[in-house]
Copies of this chain bind each other. A is one copy, B any other.
Amino acid sequence: MAPPQSVDISIPQARRIAVDTTGAQIVQEESPATRDSRGIYLPHYIEPVSHIAIDIGGSLAKVVYFTRSNIPISTTPPLSSPSTPFLPPSQSVNSVRPSSPNAGPSSSSSSSSPALNPHSHAPLDPSPLDHRRPTVNGALTPGVLHPNHDGHGRSKRASASSTSLASHPKLRRSSLPAPLPGGLLNFARFETSNIDDLITFLQELIETSATANRVSLARMKRNVKVMATGGGAHMYYDRLRTELGVEVAREDELACLILGLGFVARIPEEVFWFSEELVYKVSHPVEPLPRPSPTPPAYQVTFARPGEDDDVHFPCLVVNIGSGVSIVKVDEDGSFERVSGTSLGGGTLWGLLSLLTDAQSFDDMLLLSERGDNAAVDMLVGDIYGSDYSKIGLKSSTIASSFGKVFKKGANPEERKKSFKQEDIARSLLYAISNNIGHVAYMNAAKYGLDRVFFGGCFIRGHAATISTLSYAIRFWSKGTMRACFLRHEGFLGSIGAWIKNVDGDGNPPTANGVEEEMSELKLS
C-alpha cells in the first residue's frame, strides 16, 4: 500500500484543509460499542489546538477535540496486523479475511486488513459502553500557552505583534513534559436529551486541560472556543455559553457535513464500500441481480486508498441519516445543495422500536434485529401469491408489505404483540427504513447523474445489516452502476467539519481573538 498523502482536496468555499494527515491511523477500538468513535491518530499534526467541535442533532450530540496526550497511544495497531474484517451478516466472521491468501477471489481488491470489529459480531453486552458517559481523553493545548511549539501561525503572529507572548515570563512553562509527536482526534457521543452530560463532559475537558497546562480555569476558558453545529447549536447556544463560560461559534450543519467528509476521506481505512467487483462486472452482466432483501448477497469490503483512488472525491451524493435524513448533492468544486430528504430515519426506528420492544438503546435495537426473521411480520409475495409473481420478476421471498402480516393476528394490541417476537419486529423495521433510504438515495443520485453515494450519520453505527441493505439498494436499483460508500466515523462528519472550520490554512485557528484577549488580560494584570 502506498503511503497516505496529505493531498489538497476541493472543499466548500475553496478552503484548504491544512491538517497534516500523513501517517494518520484509526486507533484500534476497545469495544464494538465505540466502533464509530475511535480516535484518529495524526502523527504529523503538531499544532496546538484549543477548540472543541460539537454537532448537536435532534437525538445525538457528537463531540470532536484534539489532544496531544503525554500518554503513548498504546492501542494503535500496526496497519499490517491481522484483524477481523467487516462482513455482512450472512458471512461467517472467519470465512473471509482480506489479509489471508485464502480469501477467495472477491477479496483481492481489498487494500489491507482493517481494524474493524463490527458491532454485529459483538456478544450481547447487557451494559454496553455507550450507556455510560464518555470520559475525557487527554487535554487541549492552546497555542498561546505553548509559545515554544515548533509549529508556526498563532505564536508567530503573536510574536509579530508589539508584545511577544513568547517573551512573557508567565508563559514560559519549560517544566511541562514534552508532548509526543502529533496527537489524537477524539470522538464522543451523547444523547441530546441528556444535554447536561454533554456540558459536564465539556467542563471536565476544560478543567483537565487547565490542570495539564498548569493555568487557571478562567484563563483556560478564555483560550477555548466551542465550534457548534447542528440544530442544537442554536437551541442550546445560550446554555453552552453561560454554563461553559467560553466562546461559542455557530456553523451551518450542511457546510460542516461536507467539509467533514472532505477531511475524513483523507484518513486511510476510513472510507469503504462493498466490493467494487460488481461495479465493474456490470458491463458484462451474467444474470439479473436478486431483488433487495434483508439478506442481500454478500460482498467483500474494500477500503479507499486516499491519494490513489479517486473514489473519495466530489461530485457525489451525501445521505446523512440522523434522526431524519438529509440528501445533499455535492458538485465537483465542493459546492452543495440539500436536494431531498425523508423524515423516516434513525429517530423513526428508535422511536417505534422503543414502543414495540424492550430495547433500552439504539444499539440494543440493532442487536435485537440481528436475531430476528422479518418474514414473521412482513407480508411476502409468497404470502399473497402462494408462489413467485414471476411475470414481473417478484420472487416469493420479496417483501410486498412491511408489517403486512401483523394486523391479522390477535384481537387487541397486547395479544398481537405477544404473537410477534421483538427480534422480528426490529429486523423488519430496520430493513424497511434502510431500504427506503437506499431507494430514495438512488433515485436522487440518478436524477443528478451521480455515481457515488456517501452514507453518513449515526443511524448506520457501522452495523453490518444496515450497511448491506443501503449498499445493496444502491447497487440493485442502479443495476450496479453506482457505488455506496461508507465511513468509519460516519456519525461525526458534521462535528469533524466544525472542528476543521476553526483550523486555518496554516493549521491554526483562523482568528487571533483568543491571543488578543489573552494579551489584553496580560496588559491589565
Contacts and interface: CB of A to CB of B under 8 A. Distances in A.
Contact of A232 (B254, B354, B384): B384
A490 B420 CA distance: 32
Contact of A324 (B324, B377, B401, B425): B401
B252 A391 contact: yes
A347 B383 CA distance: 13
A234 interface: yes
A231 interface: yes
A405 B351 contact: yes
A58 B400 contact: yes
Contacts of A358: 412-413
A217 B449 CA distance: 63
A163 interface: no
Contact of A355 (B378, B391, B406): B406
Contact of A338 (B350, B392, B447): B392
A342 interface: yes
B400 A343 contact: yes
A280 interface: no
Contact of A348 (B355, B401, B408, B447): B401
Most chain B beta-carbon neighbours within 10 Å: one of A58, A252, A401, A416: A401
Interface residues of A, number: 68
Contacts of A346: 401
A223 interface: no
A466 interface: no
A357 B324 contact: no
Interface stretch (A172-180, A262-270, A305-313, A438-446): A438-446
How many monomers of this protein are in the complex? Answer: 2
A125 to B, nearest CB: 19
B377 A351 contact: yes
A440 B441 CA distance: 11
A138 interface: no
A65 interface: no
B352 A387 contact: no
Interface in A29-52: none
Most chain B beta-carbon neighbours within 10 Å: one of A351, A408, A436, A439: A351
A348 B413 contact: no
Interface in A377-409: 377-379, 381, 383-387, 389, 391-392, 399-408
A368 interface: no
Contacts of A59: 379, 401, 404, 407
Nearest to A403: B351
Nearest to A231: B384
Contacts of A356: 355-356, 413
A200 interface: no
A183 interface: no
B352 A235 contact: no
A508 interface: no
A435 interface: yes
A456 interface: no
Nearest to A356: B355
A417 interface: yes
Contact of A404 (B351, B435, B446): B351
Given A378-B343, A392-B254, A384 B432 contact: no
Interface string A48-89: 000000000111000000000000000000000000000000
B432 A343 contact: yes
Interface in A302-345: 322-324, 338, 340, 342-345
Given A59-B404, A384-B232, A407-B351, A436 B323 contact: no
Contact of A406 (B254, B354, B402, B446): B354
Given A351-B377, A354-B416, 19 more contacts: A58-B404, A59-B401, A59-B404, A231-B385, A231-B400, A234-B386, A235-B385, A323-B400, A323-B401, A323-B404, A324-B401, A338-B392, A343-B404, A347-B400, A351-B404, A355-B420, A436-B436, A440-B440, A443-B443
25 contacts: A58-B400, A59-B401, A59-B407, A231-B386, A231-B389, A232-B384, A322-B401, A323-B379, A323-B384, A323-B400, A323-B401, A323-B404, A324-B399, A324-B404, A343-B435, A344-B344, A344-B432, A344-B436, A345-B402, A348-B401, A350-B403, A351-B401, A356-B356, A358-B413, A443-B443
Interface of A: 57-59, 193, 230-232, 234-235, 252, 254, 322-324, 338, 340, 342-348, 350-352, 354-358, 377-379, 381, 383-387, 389, 391-392, 399-408, 412-413, 416-417, 420, 425, 432, 435-436, 439-440, 443-444, 446-447
The 8 A-B residue pairs with the shortest CB-CB distance, nearest first, are A347-B404, A351-B403, A231-B384, A347-B401, A351-B406, A323-B401, A231-B385, A235-B386
